[in-house]
Amino acid sequence: MAWHDTGTVNVTLNNANVAGVNTNWLAGARPGDAFQGPDGRLYEVLNVASNTSITLTVPYRGPTATGQKYSLVPVHGYLKRSADILSSLAQDMGGFPTRLAAVESSRLVKGANLSDLTDVAAARQNLGLKGLAVMGTNDLGTAALVDVVGTMSGGAIIERGSNASGEYVRFADGTQICRILKNYTGLATATAYNNVFYRDLIWTFPAAFLTGSLPTVSGACRLGSSRNWLSESGSTHTNTTLTIWGAYDDERNGHVGVIAVGRWK
């Protein structure tokens, strides 16, 4: 470690106080350092009071003098360097302990986990969200803490499901998509009219659309011949069913692949 000899000193016979001029001792001196004065002796530094004042462990024994050269010897070596680093770190940290105490007192953390936060207001406070977010709602106009995939009733953003009628996907914004891909075998023989057989095949959606609304449908179907249609009109078409109407020869097999898109709310 380098010796510190910035500035000059004023020493007084039989006085342990040493005055400095431009000595910058708060940065360059530590208790325990060796002070080499104008008399050539070594004295141990007891205290560093300021940038221009130190106290020795014993009174100065040389003659009174002003404006003299001196040296401070860092006897503790690397221990002094470590002390300097820790001192600088403490200054940089500033009021961190106070700020940490404030965080704890405002209850931003509650226990080891958040699984027991069943009260919405308490949960917002513990998470530091205050009034900026809500929990357990699918109102996407606000910051929401909800499951991505689950049920609409549970506040999820996406709901998926399937049953004997096909598959469906619901989104929190109200969009719904229903899909069916199915082979039919052993259909009952339809009644002939002018030597052409007609049959209505009703698809019940796996999830109902909004009451009073009609979804947009697209797809393909074949019931024995190519003369088949997807009907969006008629008494049998509602927000829960779609009529697939066909004219064909007397075959009892069919294939349907249809997608319906609309709103569930």
DSSP 138-183: --TTSEEE--SEE-TTTT-SEEEEEETTEEEEEETTSEEEEEEEEE
Cα separation, 50 vs 73, whole angstroms: 18
Over its length of 265 residues, how does the chain's per-residue pLDDT go in tens digits?
678 999 999 999 999 999 999 999 998 898 989 999 999 999 999 999 999 999 999 999 999 999 999 999 987 655 666 777 777 777 666 656 655 555 555 544 444 445 555 565 565 555 555 444 444 444 444 444 556 787 888 778 899 999 988 999 999 899 999 998 877 665 555 555 555 555 667 788 999 999 988 888 887 766 655 555 555 443 356 788 887 765 555 555 667 788 899 999 9
Partners of 104 in beta bridges: none
- In the chain, the domains with their CATH numbers are 8-93 (2.40.30), 159-263 (2.60.40.3940)
How far, CA to CA in Å, does 11 sit from each of 51, 75, 108, 261?
Answer: 16, 21, 57, 95
- CA angle 116–121–123, rounded 5-degree value: 35
The residues, ordered by sequence, that sit 6+ positions from 100 with a Cβ below 8 Å of its Cβ are none
Cα separation, 136 vs 146, whole angstroms: 6
> SS3 of 77, please?
coil
What number of other Cβ atoms are within 10 A of residue 115's Cβ? 7
82 Cα distance to chain centroid: 37
- The pLDDT of residue 217 is 84
How far, CA to CA in Å, does 53 sit from each of 21, 48, 56, 220?
Answer: 9, 6, 10, 96
118 Cα distance to chain centroid: 20
153 Cα distance to chain centroid: 25
Cα separation, 67 vs 20, whole angstroms: 8
